[in-house]
Structure 1
């Protein structure tokens, strides 16, 4: 209740959005320790530490980062609480800390527009891309597919209300392990990519997408069944795998820490408008990856995601206040028909 009340207080004071309902089966199991003084944190050696968990006792944990007020090399501050979190790998402890941070200096880097997609995860208006490999290796993906088929076969032999068999539990654990591995690789790539963008650019423009509406099912109703349901299901799965919302969230707080700014611009027509002449029509985008302007006096052609990012950059310049933009270069004038690609393979 204390956490729930704090969430509403943050919403009313303008620090966060209003809290949403979170179903138990869709959230990680966690136990909160609200008081930092109850933890009794002690470092045993270079790799291990111990903490006091109420109603459990002393528990050892793997020491991975210095804590303010505990280790001498850490900055001044204190630990205000902790939370025990369970995932596929087991239990983890997350410490809440309070430290003094200097006000960041204004970021003097250039501005850029960023378009999120599926064929190209991130396309920048300077003509570069931020790509990644498949989250699972071919053998891992094949193993996951076989496990999912095994699970469906094992479910057929389970009667309603019957206790889950040990074999089905083991299959579910293996499936969860592969999916957790893919998620960790996704998060690793997102952190490294957003850090690089935040270090390089001072103002970043992105589309204000309503992702929840974009991934809704197209199956319709019995009276009015939907069309291309399987294709829409595959598209929804691809959008969810890329986790666009989390990428924007990471980029926003990293830009703020470095004195930069994230600007969200309206999404309509960013993929249909030619950035060179401003002509808008449905036929401009010939495919998912190719954009060809149908204006006879223009005829610009190139990557569709790059064109969208240039339109986002143009809208960002109009929405960025002059006191924030300052004397800033923008990549749109530098692009002028060249196309480069920077590939960042996922760290395994």
Structure 2
């Protein structure tokens, strides 16, 4: 999803990693990995379009994390379907929403048009907001918050276009899932801006200014999902609050944050930023119980952590890699729709959520998240 850094390729086997202040560039990081189940006579395809988050960016130009969220999702689906699953990740690290829509979802629509495609998922907009935040961070004098307005407008526009395109090109009956955004750098952004707000005549807290935009964006993503027949994986809720009740309202904080169908945008923004604002936590210290926390973000404070060091190598010129193998977690290790690592890593948590809202898979135990109300797809 996000890419704080940018890259440039040389013709030789070298690459230069540039800092976040450099002009944004993009790089294709595409993979296909087949989760093979012994004795299975069927192989279904799940296609994931996105940026560096779905790519599984791990700091390298020439490899990506094997267990990025789409593959984790595919592993759960393979267990549910009792079939082999090919997880196709068509990702463009560093890409804004318009880029993902144009150069992945549209330009590479053939991947979802395959007759064995059983599902399509996508995420976008992270780089729109990261670049807007970088622009705001570098401002001096009077603050121009228009960069945030532009990011929100572009995200809304291309999220809807992406859903329309997927509805047009994906096979009839394929499930569709969109993921919303977590907030990387939540703790680091708790600082004053270096520019001056025109109304308050002084610097304002950067996080306080940025958070409502991201929350509005997340509401719009899930609201559009309802309109276009997508399930919405509320990654913000899964990453940004504890899995315990820290404010005594009788609900786990992460559960209380979740998008509620039918809630207005203004009510959602008020609930997340004000009513439950004190329960928000940086994803680097995600509390899974009263005493245990896990780091959901890599050292760049942007990309999700991933279980195991296994990676998929990418061709130097093509940016594409592929492979196949048995699932990392056998069916016997998936209990109530969760593997033993489901809440210990960023990609594991996101991949679990993608599967948890997928229409057509078996209902989870009562302790799991409520299932999507989107139309269900028959089991293959």
Q: TM-score, normalised by structure 2?
A: 0.28
- Larger-Rg structure: 1
